[in-house]
Structure 1
Amino acid sequence: MIDQVRIKRLTKHCDDRGYFAELVRNDENLLAQFGQASLSMSYPGVIKAFHYHEKQDDLWFFPSGNAQVVLHDLRPSSPTTGQTDVYYMGEENPILLLIPKGVAHGYRVLGEKPATILYFTTESYDPEAPDEKRLPYDSEQIGFSWKTVYR
């Protein structure tokens, strides 16, 4: 696992009315501080990749749909620099994924329905000076193939 990336598996409390699950608590120390919460929906097959931040950490959760999430460590001083990790997240695998600053990240929507991502950041978005550094989804530096291999 890429250094400083953290996963929190969610516990669902189910009854005959549905379920309840805690996402983020202040006593878990997942985020160094709270900056912003955002919500986005993407259609099946869409790839949103890659970008990274110099100042903020991200905490991702997919409450509906499913996604293939790819991380690539760009931090020169990290013990896992150059490492790529893949996570499968969404309603079939409800986890929170902490993405530290300096780690490029992106996702591809899997399946036949849209995916919704709810994410928390340690900084608020500043349109005058966005903390968004971009790499193409097919970046040679990362070298990841988004194709699904059927066996």
Structure 2
Amino acid sequence: MSIENVVFKKIIKHCDDRGFFAEVLRDDDYLLSHFGQLSWSTSYPDVIKAFHYHKEQDDLWFFPSGNTQVVLYDLREHSVTKGKTNVYYMGENNPSILLIPKGVAHGYRVLGEKPAILVYCTTKSYNPSQPDEKRIPWDNKVIGFDWTTKHR
């Protein structure tokens, strides 16, 4: 069962001999109730950026370059999926967007040999005097996620 209100959307690439074009987000996708900010971040190979969550904003993530393992954990008290973990593999090998509702802890690990670029939208702009960002350690025992790659 997927975490309640999380939306995962595959991105369709239209390719020709010049390159490709892709619509990442459209207003008629109806994923954001309100647009606040568009941000861009780069993380280097093997970096883990986890975990944090928001009380007031939703996030919409897209990794146009590099590859990542994204982990979500539902912290919402009244959610039917409270305590559930979901894992998504996102990046240039699996172009997609991920809507992360407020109250869902999220983080990612960069996979492979190249940096990952994250482009994301939020429903509220960042306020440095009152940041809507609550941090949880990447190795939190309650979440209990094992970030190691399994070798066969």
TM, length-normalised to structure 1: 0.99
Give the match's secondary structure for 1:137: coil
Unpaired segments ≥5 residues, structure 1: none
Q: Which residue of 2 is the match for residue 77 of structure 1? A: 78
Q: Which residue of 2 is the match for residue 93 of structure 1? A: 94
Q: Distance in 2 between matches of 1:130 and 1:86?
A: 26
**Alignment RMSD:** 0.4
The amino acid across from 1:26 in the alignment is D
Q: Which residue of 2 is the match for residue 6 of structure 1? A: 7
- Count residues in correspondence: 151
Unpaired segments ≥5 residues, structure 2: none
Q: Which residue of 2 is the match for residue 68 of structure 1? A: 69
TM, length-normalised to structure 2: 0.98
Q: Please report how far the alpha carbon of residue 28 of structure 1 lies from its aligned counterpart in structure 2 after TM superposition.
A: 1.1
The amino acid across from 2:46 in the alignment is G
Q: Distance in 2 between matches of 1:115 and 1:24?
A: 19
**Deviations along 1:105-124, whole A, 9 cap, x unmatched?**
00000000000000000000
Q: Please report how far the alpha carbon of residue 136 of structure 1 lies from its aligned counterpart in structure 2 after TM superposition.
A: 0.1
Q: Which runs of 4+ in 1 moved over 4 A?
A: none
Q: Distance in 1 between matches of 2:10 and 2:59?
A: 16
The amino acid across from 2:117 in the alignment is T
Give the match's secondary structure for 1:68: strand
Identity %: 67
